[in-house]
């Protein structure tokens, strides 16, 4: 574990990972829109009511951990890039 803490991040790998995450979000968004557009009004209402019954509305924000991890990786990538890494 100590060796992992001493390793520096590869700025290029971090940037590629972040780009991959952004692309994945775009794909998921497109698929979500496609799915929602395919629903009939009746099916939309059924899904909405079932999700509201189980408290889905309370968990619509992004994961705090994932958000902080992405912010940290972005800062590290910027720091490594600025240092010429």
How large a percentage of the chain has pLDDT more than 70? 84
**16-47 as b/e: b if 16+ CB within 10 A:** eeeeeeeeeeeeeeeeeeeeeeeeeeeeeeee
What per-residue confidence (pLDDT) applies to 80?
A: 76
19 Ramachandran zone, left/alpha/beta (phi>0; psi -120 to 50): alpha
**In this predicted model, what pLDDT tens digit does every residue of 40-59 receive, in sequence order?**
999 999 998 888 887 765 66
What per-residue confidence (pLDDT) applies to 35?
A: 94
């Amino acid at each position: 574990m100590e060796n992992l803490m001493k390793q520096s991040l590869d700025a290029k790998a971090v940037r590629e990972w972040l780009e991959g995450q952004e692309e994945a979000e775009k794909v998921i968004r497109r698929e979500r829109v496609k799915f929602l557009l395919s629903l009939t009004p009746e099916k939309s209402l059924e899904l909405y009511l079932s999700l509201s019954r189980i408290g889905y509305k309370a968990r619509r924000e992004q994961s705090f951990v994932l958000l902080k991890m992405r912010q940290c990786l972005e800062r590290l990538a910027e720091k490594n890039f600025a240092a010429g890494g």
